[in-house]
Structure 1
Amino acid sequence: MSFLIGCSSGSQEQATEAEAVSNPNLMFADYENLKLGFTTQNFLAAMPVSLETSKQFIDYAEQQGYAWLELRDPSAELSLEESQEIAAYAQEKGIEVSYAIQKGLLDEDFWPTFEKGLQNAGVFDGPKLIRSLASLSEFASDAAKQGWTPEELNLAVQYADSAAALAKEAGLQYVIENAGEPFFGNDNAYFGVADMFAQVSEQVGWQFDTANPFSVARVHGTVDSVRNYLRENVDNLFYIHLKSAENGQAQEVLGENPLPLPEVLQLLSEQSVSYVAIELQAVDNKEQAFANQEQSLDYLRAQGIVKGS
């Protein structure tokens, strides 16, 4: 994919090149109401977020035939003016954008990041979402921690409700991704993301990661328990990360997952949850990151899930 990686955004040469390599839209073979995209997280270890790289991701999405992308701005480093320029560029290219920060509810810098991110998120055309993690620092700093304490759960619920209310005032939907916390709690020993969703207001939405319950989560859920939860709570789902886990590890390329990806996609289609973003375990080599993206598409094509070149 060197034709994209080395380009400088906005040039006439690039625009001509983009037209030359433009492909038919990537489509789900059996789920025409779903939109295929990717998260820029796949590339951030090699291409940190900036105005230039964000435009390059949009070019890549257009050239490859993706419908949308999740723009990951972990610490809300993009300025409002940069976000507006990126949004205008994406609109010109016909790519929908959803904005995401990479902070957990209990992180010390959650609120300043969220408040800045909220301004950025509002300028993009697309699903009109702002996404964060449920947890991050409290598990990253304690390798023995299995789940939230009752006090942490209460704070997470309060903060999620407050963030959702602010998002609603801004004309956005706040969504939370299941991440390092356990998917389910263990009686009163510790608590997980399902316990949080059971207590938050109806304004708080869910962004499901298909691999995290079986890899990133400190305590892994069983396939049947996650499957049942998904079926019972799909009405609160706004988009998913299509990601694979194997032997307890998130994968750099899509493949089989404990909860089969086609099963998840079928349920999304039935419930008209349209947005699907490919997420891969990030690598710090630019060429390899793009190769992993292409290999993941090849897997989806080989499985008859996606069509288009």
Structure 2
Amino acid sequence: MRKSFRKKAAAVMMAAAMLFTSVQTELVAYAKGPTYTAMQDVYYTKDNCVVYAEPSYESTVLTTIGANVPVRVVGMYSNGWYRINLGVIAYVKMDSVTSAGAIGIKKNDDKQVADAQRTAAELGYEFVYLTLNKQKVIKKDIYNSYVGKKVMLYAKINDELGISFKMLYEDPIKRDLDLNVTKYEYTSQWSPSAAPVPTPPPVSEASRVVYYQFNNPVELKGQLAIFQFKTGYDKIVEIFPYDVEYTDSYEHMNNYWTEFSEFAYAPMTQVASIAIVETETASSLLADERDIMSDFRKGIKYQSDDDSAYRNNIVHGKLRKDTEYVDYEY
């Protein structure tokens, strides 16, 4: 009887061991897949947007869509795919659509766009133009789909203000980019109490100060936002960024001379409020000074051109010394 019991017990233990091994094998064999998040939004296709039957390059290609076609996005996968509804459920890669609006330049004579496009060409960057939607919001997943690529992502906010994102660096953002901006303008001496925020830059009777106040500032860290201001020719434009975390004032960063262009540029690592002070000038720049202005336009900056107070006080608003200054090799 005991021998029979021992044999049965051994058989049960062996079966349990085999079952446990099987379960363990199953757990090892099937790794956890990408996460899925449901959503409801309308995005726009880029040119040659490939639509797949499943979220895989190996699945059947259903169709290819041209630029600027609205598609309803109903979900997203953590491995870079959107689930869309075209009457049937299908899938596209995240970088083949955009939430920011239509891709492509509708007016070839737009000087703001042309100037930004020229900068991208000089740098050897791909130029991607976004016509902002009514919300003027660029979703973080769309923005981050360009991170690490040699791309200049340009958005025209209004007829006076544009912004280029120099996308080479491996620094994704954690929040959507809200490009809604409120403009304040003064053309003579005025009371500090009229300022939208504390400690504004000084304004003389011969100057014009313009504040661009962003409602939801975002720090880009290593990424570059190159602000583009339409100011007119022959101006000295003083640039005053407002640091989003460490100061309660605008701090002077550098000056820009608009000798041969009606646009002034300011490379920053944040999308946040910024003030500019314009003053008429009749002086011509030296050759090396023109080179400096050209570098500002390209998002290349010289530490020696920062005001000492700006260097000492601003942390997040200033450019990273290890990447954006002139000694960095692109």
Whichever structure has more helix as a proportion of its residues is 1
Whichever structure has more strand as a proportion of its residues is 2
TM-score by length of 1: 0.30
Q: Which gives a bigger RCO, structure 1 or 2 (Cα 8 Å, sep 6+)? A: 1
TM-score by length of 2: 0.29
